[in-house]
Amino acid sequence: MKIIAVCGMGIGTSVLLKMNAEKVLRQLGVDATVDATSVAIARESRDAQVILTTPDLVDQLQGLPSEIISIEHFFDLEEITEKLSASLL
């Protein structure tokens, strides 16, 4: 399964989100890779099952086949766990 973490540039915020999402996925026992990427590249992508991003960027990602999950607090593993489990399990 492919998951992408998206921020404006794909080098800062999305990388932190990827790290914490991978931690959560390991705990949940879900086999998935998380790639960090920019909004521009994400808009061209069609193969991600789930897009993780921040509430600010959700509008820019509408219309893609992926399910969009927005995370408010990037270091709150409980929030990430809750939202990812609701979607994946």
Chain contacts with other proteins (rule: CB under 8 A): 7-13, 15-17, 19-20, 36, 39, 53-57, 72-77
Buried b (16+ CB within 10 A) or exposed e, 10-46: beebbeebbebbbebbeeeeeebebbbbebeebeebe
Rounded Cα–Cα distance for residues 67 and 12 (Å): 22
For residue 50, the minimal CB distance to other proteins (Å) is 18
For residue 21, the minimal CB distance to other proteins (Å) is 10
Q: Is 56 or 67 the residue whose CB approaches other proteins more closely?
A: 56
For residue 70, the minimal CB distance to other proteins (Å) is 10
Q: Is 2 or 23 the residue whose CB approaches other proteins more closely?
A: 23
